[in-house]
Amino acid sequence: MLIGQVRASDLVFRYGGEEFLILLAEVDHVKACFVAGKVRHRIEASVTPLTDEQSVGVTASIGVAAHDGHPDFRHLVDRAEKALCQAKAAGRNCTVLAES
């Protein structure tokens, strides 16, 4: 589902148990937040059938961080993770942009 929401030049990774990391190439924070919103809404709209009578839906909390020039990629991932924690603390099913 995630790969279907991004461009062929973007990368999608599993990052931890229930977390995923999407690397958007050459986009600013505005476009990144737009893509994050599109992904979040697509996840929220999907329903997985469990039986003929039951199904389950899920939501997503998303942290977004734009590259700030720091040479270590872990700095960028750490900022995105902090934004993700803020999204979860804000009640989940939302997107939070990391502070610069």
Q: What per-residue confidence (pLDDT) applies to 9?
A: 96
Q: What per-residue confidence (pLDDT) applies to 11?
A: 96
Whole-prediction pTM value? Answer: 0.89
Q: Please name the amino acid found at residue 78.
A: D
Q: What per-residue confidence (pLDDT) applies to 100?
A: 78
Question: Degrees (nearest 5) of the Cα angle 79, 85, 90?
Answer: 125
Just list the catalytic residues: 18
Q: What's the pLDDT tens digit per position in 16-43?
A: 888 999 999 999 999 999 999 999 999 9
Q: Tokens 């993700």, residue?
A: 84
Q: Tokens 């958007």, residue?
A: 24
Question: In whole angstroms, how large is the CA radius of gyration of the chain?
Answer: 14
Tell me the C-alpha distance between 14 and 58, whole Å: 17
Mean pLDDT across the chain: 95
CB 95 within 8 A of CB 33: yes
Q: What's the pLDDT tens digit per position in 42-96?
A: 999 999 999 999 999 999 999 999 999 999 999 999 999 999 999 999 999 999 9
3-state secondary structure of 66: coil
Length of the chain: 100
